[in-house]
Structure 1
């Protein structure tokens, strides 16, 4: 049975492996993307170091199958970022991503006005998913983006 729960320290290696596998699958294993993020080795500490950050794990039978996080992007403007939303290929297309997104956005609404995300055009299913769930495509990144290799950007108002 699938479960969505907050990240625990023991999840670090498994979720890093899933993120890296997904990035390799879609050509994202390079600088300028999540691949090179310092926090990728210890998502537990990163997402538990501030009240307005969180990360959720999808697991079945104690096996980590994916996850996603929320963290501040531009606190002054009330904008957070949906981060590191990756699922193992074995559970894609089963509605788990929608459940995970709902969890993340419910948290985001408590702290922010808008949710931003960056991705790759090669992740076509993800782009369709984000559009279906109320994210609007942008022409370019928001100022302050560290992922200069991303080529698709989305934003969503959290209170409409």
Structure 2
């Protein structure tokens, strides 16, 4: 029987995590510009999230890294608004409830760090992800918030915590 673990990112995860996240973005057909794909932070996720009111969690099964998700302040907005960031999982993990578990872990972290709202950006064709976001009460927005630099993401959502 396999063991599934959701845990904070470690420095030694950086290289493999960058590959996993970019592989998922390519698989999903996400543009390489104006999205998380080109974020320099993908190559140093531990350092990016090793800050106050930030966290990145990974999912691993039998010692194999399969994806993750994070919370950080939304750049350009009030300090009470965070962003759900870089939530991507390899295909073999999808459909097993891992996204829901990971989202709960991230939203709990956000609440515990005095955020009142959580923002996210996604692509219109990522229907499974959008269904999950709606399930946990993210509401669609008519326009983006903050300054993420992800101009190719055309769907924006916000949740009151």
**Shorter-chain TM band:** over 0.9
Gapped runs of 5+ residues in structure 2?
none
**1:119-145 CA deviation, whole Å, 9 max, x = no partner?**
111211101110111100111101423
**1:49-96 CA deviation, whole Å, 9 max, x = no partner?**
x21000001001111011000000056251000000001100100011
**1:106-159 CA deviation, whole Å, 9 max, x = no partner?**
00002210000001112111011101111001111014231111011010000x
Ranges of 4+ aligned residues in structure 1 off by more than 6 Å: none
1:152 is matched with which residue: 147, 150, 155? Answer: 155
- TM (normalized to structure 2)? 0.93
Where does residue 9 of structure 2 map in the other structure? Answer: 7
Where does residue 81 of structure 1 map in the other structure? Answer: 83
Q: Answer with 52-61 or 142-151: which moved more.
A: 142-151
Q: Are positions 1:120 and 2:94 aligned together?
A: no
- Higher helix proportion (structure 1 or 2): 1
RMSD of aligned Cα (Å): 1.2
Q: How many residues align?
A: 157
Paired with 2:107 and 2:129, the residues of 1 have a C-alpha distance of: 16
Where does residue 19 of structure 1 map in the other structure? Answer: 21
Gapped runs of 5+ residues in structure 1?
none
With over 3 angstroms needed to count, the CA separation of the structure-2 counterparts of 1:45 and 1:77, relative to structure 1, is: closer
